[in-house]
Amino acid sequence: MKKLWFKIGISFFILFFITMGLVGLFSGELMKTTYLDMKENQLEDEARVLLHTTNIENVNLDQNSAQIQEQLSPLTEEVDARITIVDNKGHVIADSKEDPTTLENHANRPEFKEVLQDGQDVGIATRKSDTLGYSMLYVAVPIVQNGDVAGALRIAVSLESVESAINTLWGNLFLIFGIALILIALISIFIARKITKPVQEIIEVSTDLANHEYSSRIYGKSSGELQELSISVNKLAESLETQMFEIRENSQRLTAIVENLVSGVMLINHDKEIVMTNRMMYRILGKQEITGKPFYEVIKSYGLSELIEETLQTKQMKQEEITIYFPKEMILDASVSPILMEDGEVSGLVLLLHDITQIRHLENVRSEFVANVSHELKTPVTALKGFAETLLDGAMYDEALLKQFLTIIKDESDRLHRLILDILALSRIEQKTLPLQIEEVNVNDMMEQSVKTVSELATLKEISIQKKWDENKTILIENEGDRLQQILINLLSNAIQYTPAKGEISLQLEDLGDEIQLIVKDNGIGIPAKDLERIFERFYRVDKARTRHSGGTGLGLSIVKHLVDMMEGTIHVTSQENIGTTFYIRLPKHR
């Protein structure tokens, strides 16, 4: 519909433009001709007046050129024109603007030629001045002496005034033309809009629907078929809006599901370009902004790339466990499913990557734990069985051997008992079956009780325990008192076990505002740097022999680590071989 009112407007414009153009051209030429005629007559009159007032007709032109030149200067200002006098040969005698000696012969100038050669009463010409560089009007009259033409006087004026008048006319014409054009355009637009408005509104709504703007409606009133068409378009818009709302909701649900999957999802098209990925896939690949790139530029695993290529070739789902090493080492359960069209061709692939690194790690830990438990149980059971068999073979009748073997059997039974208790405790902690009993805990009292609990063991090895806290300042926290005491006892017992006789252990308490820090330090045998990261693992030993010799179960530090985590705290350790080990525990004051 825009074309219709545009055609109407352009037709009016062309007609008006041609009419006004012709009128303007005619008016301009008429004004120019009229003005030039008036100007020519005016200059002719002025030239003849100058002949009489200057008495040039009675003066010998060649002998009095200097006198004539002096007379021209004041006259130029009076008539506001250039005055030039030449003899009958065309030589310049005087000029009001230029030095006559520098001017060339003017005999061939049209205005002088008409007067000097053709014998006319006046010579008129219009041209661009070679001397001044702009258009001039020239009017020349003869200088008659003794009945003969002795020379000519020429008056020249600039045509700028004429051009200015013509330009003014054109400006007025264009102004009138512009105003008329605006009025005609407004009238044309009004008429065209009146006719085309209903159809235009239908087109706009249809365009909005094509651009997915389904809330657009036709509100204008019309009649006949246009009204029926408007109603149909509105119904179509309502139907599309409802359907698109449902599609958008389903799409948002699907997007939310895909984005929050614990598996990485990647959609690859038939050109092997990545179309879509979720957050987990970004995390697994360690890359962002990968959409639109070929998968082989993004996936650096040869095994995974081969799995995708194999799926493209066989058009069948493939699943495989793959280890990748970038951005970090991970074990992935990779599944690639083809998207098949009706003709059986592959239009794309769906790649699923599930990180099973932790699962495999837990399986290894579980397997290692079973092996370690079996090994740890085997040692005391073997000892019990061996000494029991020795006693049955006759050693029981030797009182000294009987007492010695029974003591060993008791020690191994105690060790077996401690091991079983630690295994059960660790199992309950890991399964989170221990009840939470958050209460106000007096940390000072808890530390004092823990020191008393292990004091007998420390006394046997002549180890001193230094208590480094302000007994006059009571520190209270909201946490689990039993867990805190178990942590302290385990760490103190561990320090006593690995500190030589007559060594020293310190227990320190620091108030850090919202947290407290407990420090257990010993001057024992220390831990090698390579083993520090693994000391909290179950049954991990720096030295396989020294734990058994000290009577440890290999689970104490693992229990400590789990308890600290349950209490929402942190633990780290520093150590130097043959110098000592320090454990730092931070716990929140409020939970």
Per-residue pLDDT of 314-332, as tens digits, reads: 999 999 999 998 888 899 9
Q: Is the pLDDT of residue 570 over 90?
A: yes
Q: Which residue's structure tokens are 């600290």?
A: 564
Contacts of 505 (CB under 8 A, 6+ apart): 458, 463, 464, 465, 466, 492, 495, 496, 499, 520, 521, 522, 523
Q: CA 166 to CA 264: how far, in whole Å?
A: 81
Mean pLDDT of 202-228: 80
Summarize the confidence of residues 137-166 as an average pLDDT.
82
Distance, in Å, from the CA atom of 77 to the CA atom of 88, rounded to the nearest integer, reads 26
Pair 110, 136: CB distance under 8 Å: no
- Which candidate, 448, 517, 528, places its Cα nearest to that of 489? 448
Instruction: Tell whether the model's pLDDT for residue 538 goes beyond 70.
Output: no
Given a cut of 90, is residue 354 above it in pLDDT?
yes
For residue 337, what pLDDT is reported? 94
What value does the mean pLDDT take over residues 253-279? 90
- Cβ-Cβ contacts under 8 Å for 380 (sequence gap 6 or more): 412, 413, 415, 416, 419
**In the predicted model, is pLDDT for residue 94 greater than 80?**
yes
List, edge to edge, every strand of the sheet that includes 264-269. Answer: 274-277, 264-269, 346-355, 330-340, 318-324
Q: How many helices (H) and strands (E) does the chain have?
A: 14, 17
Which of 305 and 381 is assigned the larger pLDDT?
Answer: 305
Structure tokens at 111: 């205005």
Element spanning 439, H or E: strand 439-442
User: What is the Cα–Cα distance from 351 to 361, expressed in whole angstroms?
Assistant: 24
CB 535 within 8 A of CB 542: yes
Assess contact for 489 and 447: CB atoms under 8 A: no
Amino acid found at 549:
H
What gap in Å lies between CA 269 and CA 276, rounded to an integer?
9
- Token duo for residue 475: 């520190």
pLDDT for the residue numbered 269: 93
Task: Taking residues 104-121, report their average pLDDT.
Answer: 86
Query: Residue 422's pLDDT band (boundaries 50, 70, 90)?
Result: low
> Band of the pLDDT at 266, cuts 50, 70, 90?
very high
- Burial of 158 (C-beta count, 10 Å sphere; 0-12/13-18/19+): middle
pLDDT at 156 over 70: yes
- Answer whether 305's CB lies under 8 Å from 288's CB: no
Is residue 208 pLDDT above 80, yes or no? Answer: yes
The pLDDT of 236-255, averaged and rounded, is: 87
* 208 class by beta-carbon count within 10 Å (0-12 exposed, 13-18 middle, 19+ buried): middle
Distance CA 137, CA 157 (A): 5
pTM for the full predicted model:
0.44
Q: In this predicted structure, what is the pLDDT of residue 462?
A: 93
Q: Which helix (H) or strand (E) holds 547?
A: helix 544-550
Does pLDDT of 552 surpass 70?
no
The token duo for 335 is 């599944």
Is the confidence at residue 551, as pLDDT, over 60? Answer: no
Q: Which residues contact 104 (CB under 8 A, 6 or more apart)?
A: none
> Residue 307: its pLDDT value, please?
93
Ranges of beta strands (E only) in 325-362 are 330-340, 346-355
The tens digit of pLDDT for each residue in 387-396 reads 787 778 777 7
Q: Which pLDDT value is given to residue 448?
A: 92
Instruction: Give the pLDDT band of residue 166 (cuts 50, 70, 90).
Output: low
* pLDDT (mean) for 488-510: 92
With cut-offs at 50, 70 and 90, classify the pLDDT of residue 545.
very low
User: Taking a C-beta distance cutoff of 8 angstroms, is the pair 583, 471 a contact?
Assistant: no
Tokens 């033309």: give the residue: 177
Q: Beta strand 464-468 with 439-442: parallel, antiparallel or unpaired?
A: unpaired
User: pLDDT (tens digit, 9 = 90+) per residue, 8-21?
Assistant: 667 666 776 777 66
- pLDDT-derived band at 433 (thresholds 50, 70, 90) equals low
Please enumerate in sequence order all residues whose Cβ is within 8 A of that of 9, keeping only pairs 6 or more positions apart, or say none.
184, 185, 188, 189, 192
| Residue type at position 148 | D
Question: Do 493 and 506 contact (CB within 8 A), yes or no?
Answer: no
Within 8 A by CB and 6+ apart from 500, the residues are 461, 524, 525
- Tokens 């290529």 -> residue: 309
Asked if 260 contacts 254 with a C-beta cutoff of 8 angstroms, the reply is no
Residue with more model confidence, 199 or 153: 153
- The pLDDT assigned to 257 comes to 86
Contact (CB, 8 A) for 433 and 566: no
pLDDT value of residue 1: 47
More confident residue, 18 or 464: 464
Residue-level pLDDT at 200: 77
Determine the distance from the C-alpha atom of residue 566 to the mean position of all C-alpha atoms in its chain, rounded to a whole number.
41
Average pLDDT, the chain: 82
Task: Please state, for a pLDDT cut of 70, what percent of the chain lies above it.
Answer: 84
Question: Going from the N-terminus, what domains does the chain have, and what CATH number goes with each?
Answer: 2-164 (3.30.450.20), 261-355 (3.30.450.20), 361-429 (1.10.287.130), 437-588 (3.30.565.10)
pLDDT tens digit string along 17-52? 777 667 767 776 777 777 778 888 888 888 888 888
Provide the terminal-to-terminal Cα distance of the chain, rounded to the nearest Å: 72
The predicted structure's pLDDT at residue 384: 75
Q: Which residues, in sequence order, are CB contacts of 162 under 8 Å at separation 6+?
A: 32, 35, 36, 39, 137
Pairing of strands 476-479, 439-442: antiparallel
Average pLDDT over residues 514-527: 93
Among 145-154, 176-185, 579-588, name the most confident range. 579-588
- 3-state SS string over 37-77? HHHHHHHHHHHHHHHHHHCHHHCCCCCCHHHHHHHHHHHHH
